[in-house]
Amino acid sequence: MIVPCDYTRAACEADRWGGGTWGPRVAFAAKSHFVREPIGTASAAEMATALEQLHKFTAVGGASGLLIDALGGAVSDRPPGATAFPHRTAVGVVQYHSYWHQFTDRTHIDRRLKWLRDIHATMQPRLGIGGYSNGVDRELNDWAVAYHGENYPRMQRVKAACDAEQLFTFPQAVTPGRPVAEPAADDQSPKAPQRNRGDRA
């Protein structure tokens, strides 16, 4: 039997029954980019500069940083349209994260959010569009395209068939869509995502 449950309780129950313990809730915000070509020296230098800014507030009720995960290999063995994940041709994903505790004051939370916005805006011209759906960015206006690319209409059809009442939902959840004609059999993938811009190794 499936019943509605808010996210906080679901997370706590997962920790509890998974062998963990109940703990204080930690808030976080995230932004991300998919990398289409190896990161060059200019992009690396800008990331390093952004990280150097963190020492000003890292110890004040939380933490911030960035993650760089390599893709390729088995990820790229399937075409972008084969599954819900469209970023098969990317060589990596960069995630920018910031965390804070319930006792962190608003001033420091705002500073962390500004850091996220600044580094994301700085890297946008170099890394282009594309976002990682497991690190939800609530400020991302074009999230359906950034997360799902041209796979989104197909995901909407699946949603309409399997969860039309939207039992599983959140602000950036896939919404049910009207049935549309399936793409031609030889059209297995969305248009190739744009490559890194303005970067030279």
Where along the chain do its domains lie? 24-162
Residue 193 has pLDDT above 50, yes or no: no
pTM of the model: 0.72
CATH 3.30.70.141 fits domain 24-162: no
| C-alpha separations of 55 from 45, 63, 64, 115 in Å | 17, 10, 10, 12
Residue 148 has pLDDT above 90, yes or no: yes
What is d(CA 43, CA 36) in angstroms, rounded to the nearest whole number?
Answer: 13
Q: What pLDDT does 40 receive?
A: 84
Higher per-residue pLDDT: 81 or 193: 81
Task: Return phi, psi of residue 151, to 5°.
Answer: -80, -15
Q: What pLDDT does 125 receive?
A: 86
Name the β-bridge partners of 63: 99
C-beta separation of 88 from 149 below 8 A: no
Q: What pLDDT does 178 receive?
A: 63
C-beta separation of 74 from 170 below 8 A: no
Q: Is residue 167 helix, strand or coil? A: coil
Residue 194 has pLDDT above 50, yes or no: no
What is d(CA 170, CA 36) in angstroms, rounded to the nearest whole number?
Answer: 29
Percent over 70 (pLDDT), the chain = 73
Q: Is residue 103 helix, strand or coil? A: coil
Classify the C-alpha dihedral 57-134-23-27 as positive or negative: positive
Q: What pLDDT does 186 receive?
A: 47
